[in-house]
Amino acid sequence: MEESKSKVSGEKFTERIVLVFDVGTQSSRALLVNNRGEIKAKATEKHDPPYISPETDWAEQKAEFYYEKICLAAQTLKSVCPEEWERIEAVSVTTIRDTALCVDREGKPLRNAFVWLDNRSAKGRPRFSKMARVMLKSIGMDKTADMQYRKSRCNWVMENEPEIWEKTYKFLLISGYLIFRLTGNMTDSAASMVGHVPFDHRERNWQKKGALTRPVFDIPPEKLCEIREPGSGLGCVQPDAAADTGLREGLPVIASGSDKACEILGLGCISREKAAISFGTTATVSFTTDRYVEPERFIPPYAAILNQHYNPEIEIYRGYWLVSWFKKEFAQKEMAAAEELGIPAEELLNRRLKEIPAGCEGLILQPYFTPNTTMPSAKGAIIGFSDVHTRIHIYRAIIEGINFALLDGMRLLEKQSGHTFQEIFVGGGGAQSDEICQITADMFGLPVKRVQSHEVSGIGSAIACFVGMGEFKNYEEAVEQMVSVRDTFCPDMEQHEIYRILYEEIFKKIYGRLSPLYARLHEIYGKR
């Protein structure tokens, strides 16, 4: 056992190791993480393809696909670092959100899982009482409730595959399914319940039958799994899972949370002055608070990994997915060059960001390629084209456009919570780029900090695991020990002034001006 000095007390302590399975949209990872927040080893399995589309706007994946990927990643780790593998003391699982499936009594999937990008629609509407409908209409939430009902995959199954719904024993998120495959228990973490399910984030459990919005996701209670708090035991690795993964039978599996909840914790953002920004497939801005603060009117803050704490959040659904879109459609040259060099194409593209001045010489992108609850008809838009613009201008406009939308979200969070953020911590794939981090600091006018690893979801999941094991007395001590700032990017305030003008005078006005056109497009095409 390796001994080292504690960051807090200077006392020696023994290195301990846990295994984290981190399932994302594009890949699954198995990480060996120690109690200093160091990633001892990692194995990655790409999702190719990340989803399948039997029909336009559908996004599905075989549920077994995710389990097979974490098993392959685990077996790889075991083969490359057998000594560390034998020292694993516990396992935790963190996954993408809002990815759901129907299973039978034996836990076998009855159909493909619905990936969060799925955009199919149910045709009905919630069965509210007359009084409830009047109440919702009086506060302007009746249309939002109807939209959420239509976007709910459980309702789509009830309408279109009633025989599947009849056979459904549990309606699980993918995190719950993977936990079941490892432990044999159909249970999940309170901090993983982000999706179109009837979860009460204030109470950290399922909504009661009489809750006002219960008819939006009217899943019978018997079809919902057991909920446990982060840090709690979910069961032990069962014989079949041990054979599939190479793990020791009987290892404890400990609850953590969804990828975003773990990311916030892995960035060390456990006090409200620290904003957590994720540059992932979905880009988000969030923070941690002990107050129940709705990020937008009637939109709940999600249950944080810290008990009795919440993560108010603003999402840009197609965040750094836009980079993948740009690569596919416009960056064949960089992709070919990157393949020859053996580096990611994003690295070459990010180097070229410096060629383009702040504000992209008037090119502004609105990144709402997928609408959200409060902007149900929104679309993506680019304005300001002239003959000076190149495809690299478009690439930088994507980075800046995502940041403008996140800045919009951060201002809303500050307004709702009554405080201002002092610093920003960044995670996700985009955070690996120095250029993107500096652009972010300049745009927000705040220091941007990057911690010791970009695998912050895995570190956050490991933190929950170690707290559950009793290695640390609380999350504050765990963060102190396991999270450290590696890089700080200070804002250039001259650049910030350019962005402030563009944000206040241009970006904030785009949606209002284009909203009627978006609504008409929605009427014409009727898909979004």
Per-residue pLDDT of the chain (528 residues; tens, 9 = 90+): 444 445 555 567 699 999 999 999 999 999 999 999 999 999 999 999 999 999 988 999 999 999 999 999 999 999 999 999 999 999 999 999 999 999 999 999 999 999 999 989 999 999 998 888 888 888 878 888 888 899 999 999 999 999 999 999 999 999 999 999 999 999 999 999 999 999 999 999 999 988 988 999 999 999 999 999 999 999 999 999 999 999 999 999 999 999 999 999 999 999 999 999 999 888 999 999 999 999 987 789 999 999 999 999 999 988 999 999 999 999 999 999 999 999 999 999 999 999 999 999 999 999 998 776 667 678 899 999 999 999 999 999 999 999 999 999 999 999 999 999 999 999 988 999 999 999 999 999 999 999 999 999 999 999 999 999 999 999 999 999 999 999 999 999 999 999 999 999 999 999 999 999 998 998 888 654
* pTM score, whole prediction: 0.93
Helices H / strands E in the chain, number of each: 18, 26
Same domain, 265 and 249: no
What CA–CA distance (Å, rounded) separates 89 from 100?
A: 29
Same domain, 138 and 204: yes
Residue numbers of the domain that contains 450: 261-316+446-489
CATH number where 362 lies:
3.30.420.40
For tokens 């459990």, name the residue.
205
The 3-state DSSP class for residue 193 equals coil
Same domain, 270 and 344: no
215 falls within a domain: yes
Same domain, 82 and 105: yes
Q: Among the three residues 226, 255, 284, which one is the final residue of a domain in this structure?
A: 255
Same domain, 275 and 361: no
> What are the helix (H) ranges across 55-109?
63-80, 82-86
Domain count, the chain: 3
300 falls within a domain: yes
Tell me the pairing of strands 199-200 and 205-206: antiparallel
Q: Which two tokens stand for residue 471?
A: 């290695």
**Would you say 203 and 190 are in contact if contact means Cβ atoms under 8 Å apart?**
no
396 falls within a domain: yes
Same domain, 79 and 96: yes
Same domain, 473 and 506: no
155 falls within a domain: yes
59 falls within a domain: yes
201 falls within a domain: yes
Q: Among the three residues 210, 228, 255, which one is the final residue of a domain in this structure?
A: 255
424 falls within a domain: no
Give exposure, 261-297, as e/b (b: 16+ Cβ within 10 Å): bbbbbbbbbbebebbbbbbbbbbbbbbbbeeebebbe
Same domain, 146 and 271: no
For residue 271, give Cα distances in angstroms to 149, 256, 268, 290, 459: 34, 19, 8, 9, 18
DSSP string for 447-513? -EEEES-S-HHHHHHHHHHHHHHTSSSSHHHHHHHH--EEEEE---HHHHHHHHHHIIIIIHHHHHH
Q: Among the three residues 206, 230, 255, which one is the final residue of a domain in this structure?
A: 255
427 falls within a domain: no
Q: Which two tokens stand for residue 224?
A: 């919902």
DSSP string for 126-140? ----HHHHHHHHHTT
473: CB partners within 8 A, 6+ apart: none
Same domain, 182 and 311: no
